[in-house]
Amino acid sequence: MKILAMFLLAAGTVVAQVHIVRHPDRLSVEIDGKPFTEIFQGPQTRKPYLHPLRSASGKIVTRRFPMETVAGETTDHPHHQGLSFTHAEVNGYNFWASDASQLDAKSGSIRLKKIRGTRGGKTTGRADLEYEWLDPAGKPILLERRVLVFHGGADRAVDFDTEFRALDRVTFGDTKEGTFAVRLAAELQEDHSGEMVGATGCRREKDCWGTRGNWMDYSGKVDGEDLGVAIFDHPANPGHPTYWHSRGYGLFSANPFGAADFRKGRKEPDTGGTGSLVVERGKKVRFRYRVLIHPGRTDAGALEKAYQAYIGVSK
């Protein structure tokens, strides 16, 4: 497994030119002249999301539906759009179920306020973005500054760093329906070639769902190549180590808020407290994650080293 190639980025021994191109409704990210992903955030988009995500070899590791229709793909959960950060209970409003077929009086939306800046480079590219989280009446309740850093090399990685400022008193509610989530390609599902493995040693949904840990990895064979996708949870995040709302059918989600659902689902005793988070008006809260797309199947030792490298450079 070649996860350790990520370490070479810091030393400057791997050169991968990263370009970010602006379009009216999205940003395109290219690495070494090849497409990596796009950030969709136009006026018709109810939440910003990255689609698709590709490996260094160009293989697509995310499900294409509902943005594209591909023969043989499942069409469940149309709100599972690429990689996104949303939640189903924010002051009682639903930012998670964002498909047009799911909208109701409780549906919120996330609107791009401005692009603060984009920058390409020899090894990384950076997008600095500002969003407003709107209640159903269109009133902003949260101001979000989201910084995305894209890494090239033998692996691909996205560093996600977002800070919220509450424009009113805001509660992220205790529900499993969220939060930092990606819907993976069908080949990575457990009924195909995929297997999830957690930092705690758990394997597959039956053991991993609702557990807590520093990272989770999901690997399998995509278009004939062994590939994996890992999510790293930063130790400074609220609720760290996060719960994993990760399913065998391809939903891969870190959710620090759903304690009641996860404890109940695993038949664990209630240890007190809830998974909700209150941010008082004018206060801020920050979340950081890394998504690592690597060649090869899960190698827990290499992933742990990659995780330690991540938290070492992002204190």
Per domain, the residue ranges of the chain are 3-313
Q: Residue 2 has what pLDDT? A: 52
Task: Give residues with Cβ within 8 angstroms of 13, minimum separation 6.
Answer: none
Asked if the bond preceding 52 is cis, omega within 30° of 0, the reply is: yes
Q: Residue 154 has what pLDDT? A: 83
Q: Residue 13 has what pLDDT? A: 44
Kindly give the parts of the chain with pLDDT less than 50.
Answer: 1, 4-14
Q: Residue 12 has what pLDDT? A: 40
pLDDT tens-place string over residues 73-99: 888 888 889 999 999 999 999 999 988
> Which CATH number among 1.10.3470, 3.40.1350, 2.70.98, 2.40.10 corresponds to the domain 3-313?
2.70.98
Q: Residue 49 has what pLDDT? A: 98
Q: Residue 76 has what pLDDT? A: 81
**Whole-model pTM?**
0.93
Q: How far is CA 57 from CA 67, 223, 275, in A?
A: 22, 11, 39
